[in-house]
Structure 1
Amino acid sequence: MALRQSTQLGAATAFFGVLSFVLAIVAELKKPPYGTPIRGADVVVCRFPPDPTVALGVLSALAAACCAGIGAVSVFFPYNGRPIPRKALFGYTLLHVFFHLAIGITVTGVAMTVWATATEAVHHVRNVHRDLSYACPTAKTGMFGGAAFVNLDASLFWLVCFMLVGNVRDDYFDDQEQGGEARGGGGSAGHEEK
């Protein structure tokens, strides 16, 4: 059953990471380069073609957050009802480093996605400007694409953490079994001598 649980958590982490990447790439591709300025007497009103950029950006950020949440759960999940103390988990330096890198990269990716989405939404909502030379720009080109790759990197770091936890679990339970046999053997020998 433990293999099944671990496979499900690993697959879910990968799925949400790839989903976040794809949604952000599609948002980048669907984003119009600029709106159409309609000049009035003393204002410019920007009209933007209907596009799903803002919705895709929100969904991408949510998928990246889900990826991180499932990735973190997969690190601490008691597979087969056998938990590992945090001290033992983070006593393994490589896991400690990758776990904190995964958190940092996730925060960066989600922040970039939210920033690009919020910028695009603000351009659509605040579309009346008093500057008659205003050209009706949208969010900077490449922001969604950059966020997509950072979110994909974050999901890969969570998957590395997931694999490292498997190694730590194996080592921890091997040590527990060997320590238990040594204690059990010594205790029974001492009991027989009495």
Structure 2
Amino acid sequence: MAATLKKMSVLVAALGILSFVFGILAETKKPAAGVPIIGKGMIICKYPSDPTLAFAWLSFGFLVACSAVGWFSLFYAYKGKKAPTSAFFQSSTFVSFFVITLGTIGLAASFLLWPIITHHHPKYNITGNQNPSSATCPTAKTGVLGGGAFLSLNSSLLWLACFIFASNAREDYFEDLDGVKKPTHKHTHLEEAEAGPTIDDDSNEITSSSH
């Protein structure tokens, strides 16, 4: 089944929505705090088991998949006709949305990965020397995973906008290409008209011999 821009747009939107949903689930399922356990010279935090990390990884994975499909769909040769990459970047509107899309993807990845990285850090469960009576075991700041989820959804919508401008740039390129070929064809017919009717030498010889 050949890929079409409509199918790829639906796929990108679906992946963006899935990334958003899992990011929101990671935010809502995140525990408020861990339980401090007083050790020798340090306080160890014990966190309850929760699916936050799994949801965060899934959200990040769908963000990567959405970005990969978006990039592939942008420069894909639809109907067997491929426009050069330079044709897309001649449009300032396309370039603007393309850069904004990549920036949004980077921010979304940072927001989703930061809680994952800090959770896996060796010192995440150790808070150091604290007053046992006021020791706390915080989790990722509220809104980080949710912000990553919204940015991931926004990136998929920005991909759709890039598809529109890329489609316009592709059509303009092929129209200009056809416009260059057509005048050449007309010029050939014009030269033939100016040259006048051609005379066949063989037919002249036959006519002369008959006389």
TM-score by length of 1: 0.88
Which amino acid in structure 1 is aligned with residue 189 of structure 2? Answer: S
Q: Whole-Å Cα distance in 2 between the matches of residues 191 and 153 of structure 1?
A: 58
Q: Say if 2:118 and 2:124, in contact at 8 Å, map to a contact too.
A: no
- Count of residue pairs the alignment pairs up: 192
Q: Say if 2:22 and 2:59, in contact at 8 Å, map to a contact too.
A: yes
Tell me the residue number matched to 1:5.
4
Q: Whole-Å Cα distance in 1 between the matches of residues 46 and 170 of structure 2?
A: 57
Tell me the residue number matched to 1:150.
151
Which runs of 5 or more structure 2 residues have no equivalent in the other structure?
A: 196-211
Which amino acid in structure 2 is aligned with residue 157 of structure 1? Answer: L
Q: Percent identity?
A: 34
Tell me the residue number matched to 2:52.
53
Q: 1:127 aligns with which of 121, 125, 128?
A: 125
Which runs of 5 or more structure 1 residues have no equivalent in the other structure?
A: none
CA apart distance, 1:132: 4.2
Q: Over alpha carbons, which structure has the higher Rg?
A: 2
Q: Whole-Å Cα distance in 2 between the matches of residues 120 and 33 of structure 1?
A: 14
The 3 A distance-change label for structure 1 pair 130 and 174 is closer
1:45 aligned counterpart, secondary structure: strand
Tell me the residue number matched to 2:204.
none
2:4 aligned counterpart, secondary structure: helix
The C-alpha deviation readout for 1:29-88, integer Å capped at 9, x for no partner, is 000010112224544232211111112112211211221111111111111111112222
CA apart distance, 1:24: 0.8
Q: Whole-Å Cα distance in 2 between the matches of residues 111 and 129 of structure 1?
A: 24
CA apart distance, 1:129: 4.1
CA apart distance, 1:5: 1.6
The C-alpha deviation readout for 1:81-110, integer Å capped at 9, x for no partner, is 111122221111101111111111111111
CA apart distance, 1:142: 0.8
